[in-house]
Structure 1
Amino acid sequence: MNEREFNLVDEPWICVLRKDLQVDTLSLRDVFLHGQDYLDLGGENQPQNFAVLRLLIALAYTIFSRVDENGKAMDIAEITDPDEAADEILRRWGALWENGRFPQELVLQYLEQYHDCFWLFDPERPFGQAPGAVRGTQYGAAKLIGDISEGNNKIRIFSNRAGEEKNTLSYPEAARWLLFINAVDDASGKPKQKGLKSIGPGWVGKLGMIQSVGKNLFETILLNLTFLKDGEELWSKKANPNWEHLPKEGERTEIPVPDNLAELLTLQSRRLLLERENGRVIGYHLLGGDFFDNHGENGAFNEQMTIWKVDKKSESHYFVPQQITPGRQMWRDFGSYFVEEAEEAKHIPGIISWLRTLQEVNLLPTNDTISFRIIAFEYGGGSQNSIINDFSSDTLTLYPELLSEQEIGVQETIEQQIAKCDEAARAVNHLFYNIFLAEGGDPEKRSRKGEMLFYRAVDEPFRKWLLQFRGDLLKEPKQLENAYRDWEQQAKSIANQIGNAEEQRAGVAAFSGRILEDKKRNTREFYSVPRADMWFKLELAKIYPKEGDAK
């Protein structure tokens, strides 16, 4: 079966969320013509939405890096004066934002010109695939489905699908999962050619994924459209998305880090080829694809949609993408996302630096909030990363003013308050453990129950507190001090409430207490609820001292 089938420009395949929170399925063309009418992407899970979003950003970048909002041909990569290029980039982005939708005629012209590049099935250039992958590892459809990810030898005992819905896929769903697998595939695939290194996870799966979220899908695409790397540098190459050239066939190909946004966002971490039968996708073939060094200093800082960490295992202490722990609230890592401290080696996400640039040239309205979404992605199978183990997402909303470099002092103080929350969480957990010991619990059995209860309780209050940082509050030192003090009182009160509830729950034996001997340390300690409460209050007083107390 070699005939062309299912063109992504014309056929509905992208799930989008309507304003009434129902899901529609649109073609690529309709997403760009009507994105302003939809809230967000609405696919099967957020990692899949992230992969689809990267495609949409790449398409928008490709079109509007070559022509301005009026259709005038002017490739920004050909502007020789850097300042002139930056001015044109920001002017062009601002014009698109002000328009509130993508110019219909320009989108249609591009999609008509490259229409034949978007066939899901094509004998020579199937979209996002490589015919040569037919020699690769063969998988069933269940491995393609990202919320199952069932391999040939690893059957999911508990699955949310069965029968045909598990073993075959419609073309629209297969197209979405195709992007997902290319982006975040695990490392279970094996090279077919002798002498090649093992296949690592897909590039996007290695990231601490972060994106901006607009009021509608059009805004989301545009906010993440980083025309300037890190909000400052020009991309050195012209837009070169993968669909505009014939598929690569080479397995496990090391390449330089792409220096144009479209090529980076459409990186082929895998060589894939879908199998179809009777109008359904029944499986796929897989080989390792393109990869590059993930050290930031070696060019990987071109990736704009990740947080970074210093790799302390390496002698040179390179920056590498930092994956996020599933279930962890975004605000707890506020500093990693938003605070670039001069005295500390840090690198904040490129998307944040880009938005900071937009804010500083007054292209973002200060009276509207801006939201961010993170996606945590975790592989299992030990160091082999051979299965997708877990993923989660979280969002955070604040006012653009807080992103400004002028507010570095406020940003650092917020980061300090989060550090105090971490200390308070540990103090609550310590109280729970001491009460557990007083009740007769095994000292070797520890839990994070108290810590988790504290973070759950402060989550909503902290998010509301962050929304105060705007306008006059940022200009008045006294108001800022009051805001910090009010939060400390609230956080301390929450910790006390959780602690009091746990103390009241404890039984009579815990109040009487018991003595524990530590033979290794040759110590004896008495544990009881009253003593645990005393230690807890002392810890909280150190974290949140009363005004006038020594800190």
Structure 2
Amino acid sequence: MIEKNFNLVTDSWLKVIDQQTGREQKVSLIELFKNAQNYRQLAGEMRAQDLAVMRLLLAILTTVYSRFDADGQPYEWLENGTEKFLSDATIIKFYPKSRIKQTVVKTWQKLYQKGQFTDIVIKYLEHYSDKFAFFGEHPFYQVTKAEYDELVPANKVVAKGTGTVAVKQINRRISESNNTPALFAPKAGESKNQIAVDELVRWLITYQNFTGVTDKTKIKADDKFSVSPGWLYKLNPVFAQGKTLFETLMLNLVLFGQEEPAPQRPVWEYSSAKEYIAERKKNLLPNNIAELYTSWSRILHIEWNEDGVPTIFSAGLPKIVSDNAMIEPMTVWKYDKKTAAYRPAVRGLQSLGKAMWRNFGNYVNANKAHNNSEPGVVVWLRLLKGQTAIPRDKLLTLASVDLIDDGNATSQSPVAEVVDDMSINADVLFDEDSENCWPAQIEAMIKETQIVGTYFWQFARDVGEIRGFKDNSLKEFANRLSSKFYYGLNQPFKDWLAGLTNQDEHGEKLLLWEKQLRKHAFIEAQKVMDTSSSRDQKGIFTDKGLRNIFTINDYFRYRVNTMFKKE
């Protein structure tokens, strides 16, 4: 029988990699925040899980350091705070935002220079430890049986035994429903539903962030609503990645965002689950990062049998509207001209092979165009660099971890995980000296690269036509060769990008990439030439005359050379 005594504050459940030994460890929240500088990174079952857990950690840090400075003293702009850790404090009306910005940047800088988090975080966790208990009156990220029964329709209460979700479905490495087996899962048979408490905690946090829409049970509400698919699931995530877990958390610790300053309120600071659900029923976007990072997509209740096997009851909550949700720091945005609204640029199956660098302009706004808005974490890093909190020569890494759904509106089951990153010097990333600033020049190089990529796709398509491919088969052939073309460019471009500095002569560095791009294009075309058949060499007659592997290769080389003004 399972021991019903597990607390996230003091019990080990977070998987990390030790910086010195490179070995995996399991630690508690207190251990993590005391020793974050000694860990390389989170090391959960998948990177999407690590991202969901990291946002929980950031919610704790954002809450604490938006109330207390690096010395553990409360900020002067907070008032009416009668509770020990100021959960009930408000911000003084008309207090200068510029002073708030300046002060929190100073707090961030002192913490960064100190190289570790301060005791105020540990004291906060100890104060709220009962809200981090996995069992009991306030089960973490769950509701009690009484609360669940009160929040759902009468025919969906726990006693009815309906509206459950299996462990194997919450486990996002399996994501198996009772109707559709996952054939290539890392577990088989009954073991898919067997799980230790620490792993269940990690998956529960992940599931609240990456939820499909197959659930049949919803909470009671006066109006009909669309069930939430999980907030993080519908973003195009981006975050800064440091050399240690401490540095990663610090770089993503946004203490002053693009919205009006507001008191932080993570979900565990609500007096009860019922109070939080009442707030969610208003269909309002949270006005603070901590609440957004800890938002639920489901109310979950767990019943345990004598063998320690959990039965998980689940009911959907209203979807949080993401239009103009600029309070979210960790997403790429797209501008909808019809509604004049910014929305997260959600990735789909069709963009699986597209690397981050090819969408560089979505991460860094080089030309300040109206239809582009930088991710909040990039805006924050820009502020830190401008305030000299970040060294000018620091190499910053922007990373993305995306869980892609199946594109089916009635299920939205995860089918792929995409992980990518790109590193760039802080001075280069935030170079704003002129119209020819580095971000604009980088974007120009990417456009040139895309043009050459288009030329290569057309070359591949011409080869496919000579080989007799038609319609979808022709397109698939060209797309397959095009994917190989870009895959071969990924690492060279990332190396080129990471090597840029503000001391470089722009023209020399740009020419260096153009030469590398041109060479790669001709090598990839030559690979096709080397595998050509007699049919390719014989060719076909068209209204433009004879077309064979030699003529289309010559034309491809001519187009590339003409673009680069080379003979």
Q: 2:559 aligns with which of 531, 539, 543?
A: 539
SS in 2 for 1:112: helix
1:464 and 2:479 equivalent?
A: no
Alpha carbon RMSD of aligned pairs, Å?
2.3
The answer for the alignment partner of 1:276 in structure 2 is: 304
| Compared CA separation, residues 525 and 389, structure 1 to 2 (3 A) | farther
The answer for the alignment partner of 2:13 in structure 1 is: 13
SS in 1 for 2:503: helix
Distance 2:213 2:18 in 1: 35
- In 1, are the aligned partners of 2:329 and 2:376 still within 8 Å (CA)? yes
1:116 and 2:130 equivalent?
A: yes
Distance 2:76 2:296 in 1: 25
CA shift, 1:449, in A, is 2.2
Distance 2:369 2:131 in 1: 48
Read off the aligned partner of 1:541 and give its amino acid letter: N
The superposition leaves residues 413-444 of structure 1 with CA deviations (integer Å, 9 ceiling, x where unpaired) of 21121122122122222222222322343455
Q: 2:140 aligns with which of 119, 127, 135?
A: 127
- In 1, are the aligned partners of 2:225 and 2:319 still within 8 Å (CA)? no
Distance 1:17 1:106 in 2: 24
Read off the aligned partner of 2:552 and give its amino acid letter: A
Question: For structure 1, which runs of at least 5 residues remain unmatched after alignment?
Answer: 474-478, 517-522
Distance 1:76 1:126 in 2: 33
CA shift, 1:504, in A, is 1.6
CA shift, 1:184, in A, is 1.1
TM-score by length of 1: 0.90
- In 2, are the aligned partners of 1:189 and 1:286 still within 8 Å (CA)? yes
Read off the aligned partner of 2:329 and give its amino acid letter: Q
The answer for the alignment partner of 1:87 in structure 2 is: 102
1:303 and 2:328 equivalent?
A: yes
- In 2, are the aligned partners of 1:61 and 1:261 still within 8 Å (CA)? yes
The answer for the alignment partner of 2:264 in structure 1 is: 239
CA shift, 1:216, in A, is 0.6
Distance 1:99 1:250 in 2: 39
- In 2, are the aligned partners of 1:227 and 1:234 still within 8 Å (CA)? no
The answer for the alignment partner of 1:97 in structure 2 is: 112
Q: Report 1:388-403 matches (<5 A).
A: 388-403=414-429
CA shift, 1:281, in A, is 4.8
The superposition leaves residues 429-487 of structure 1 with CA deviations (integer Å, 9 ceiling, x where unpaired) of 222222232234345522212211211111111111112322312xxxxx101111121
The answer for the alignment partner of 1:519 in structure 2 is: none
| Compared CA separation, residues 468 and 423, structure 1 to 2 (3 A) | same
Distance 1:139 1:262 in 2: 27
TM-score by length of 2: 0.87
Read off the aligned partner of 1:295 and give its amino acid letter: D
Read off the aligned partner of 1:392 and give its amino acid letter: V
The answer for the alignment partner of 1:35 in structure 2 is: 36
The answer for the alignment partner of 2:441 in structure 1 is: 413
Read off the aligned partner of 1:531 and give its amino acid letter: T
Distance 1:220 1:133 in 2: 37
The answer for the alignment partner of 1:334 in structure 2 is: 360
Q: 1:494 aligns with which of 514, 520, 523?
A: 520
Q: Tell me the matched-pair count.
A: 526
- In 2, are the aligned partners of 1:170 and 1:279 still within 8 Å (CA)? no
The superposition leaves residues 129-166 of structure 1 with CA deviations (integer Å, 9 ceiling, x where unpaired) of 12334637201110110111111222112211124531
SS in 2 for 1:384: coil
Distance 1:63 1:530 in 2: 67
Distance 2:266 2:540 in 1: 68
Q: 1:189 aligns with which of 215, 223, 237?
A: 215
- In 1, are the aligned partners of 2:393 and 2:427 still within 8 Å (CA)? no
Read off the aligned partner of 1:41 and give its amino acid letter: L
- In 1, are the aligned partners of 2:230 and 2:297 still within 8 Å (CA)? yes
CA shift, 1:181, in A, is 0.6
Distance 1:389 1:76 in 2: 47
Q: Report 1:241-280 matches (<5 A).
A: 241-245=266-270, 246-248=272-274, 250=277, 253-278=281-306, 280=308
| Compared CA separation, residues 184 and 65, structure 1 to 2 (3 A) | same
The answer for the alignment partner of 1:137 in structure 2 is: 163
- In 2, are the aligned partners of 1:148 and 1:159 still within 8 Å (CA)? yes
Distance 2:321 2:487 in 1: 38
Distance 1:393 1:187 in 2: 24
SS in 1 for 2:546: strand
SS in 2 for 1:416: helix
The answer for the alignment partner of 1:527 in structure 2 is: 547
Task: State which drifts further: 300-309 or 130-139.
Answer: 130-139
| Compared CA separation, residues 426 and 188, structure 1 to 2 (3 A) | same
Q: Report 1:144-543 matches (<5 A).
A: 144-192=170-218, 193=220, 196-230=224-258, 234-235=260-261, 237-245=262-270, 246-248=272-274, 250=277, 253-278=281-306, 280-296=308-324, 300-311=325-336, 315-324=338-347, 325-380=351-406, 382-404=408-430, 406=432, 409-442=437-470, 444-445=472-473, 446=475, 447=477, 448-473=479-504, 479-515=505-541, 526-543=546-563
SS in 2 for 1:180: helix
| Compared CA separation, residues 462 and 344, structure 1 to 2 (3 A) | same
SS in 2 for 1:7: coil
Task: State which drifts further: 536-545 or 52-61.
Answer: 536-545
Distance 1:10 1:90 in 2: 30
CA shift, 1:182, in A, is 0.4
SS in 2 for 1:142: helix
Read off the aligned partner of 2:209 and give its amino acid letter: A
- Quote the sequence identity (%): 26
| Compared CA separation, residues 279 and 335, structure 1 to 2 (3 A) | farther
SS in 2 for 1:229: coil
Task: State which drifts further: 38-47 or 261-270.
Answer: 261-270
CA shift, 1:542, in A, is 4.2
The superposition leaves residues 149-204 of structure 1 with CA deviations (integer Å, 9 ceiling, x where unpaired) of 11122211221112453112111000000011100101111244486233141111
Distance 2:177 2:391 in 1: 47
The answer for the alignment partner of 2:85 in structure 1 is: none
Distance 2:77 2:247 in 1: 22
SS in 1 for 2:398: strand
| Compared CA separation, residues 85 and 381, structure 1 to 2 (3 A) | closer
| Compared CA separation, residues 265 and 160, structure 1 to 2 (3 A) | same
CA shift, 1:279, in A, is 6.8
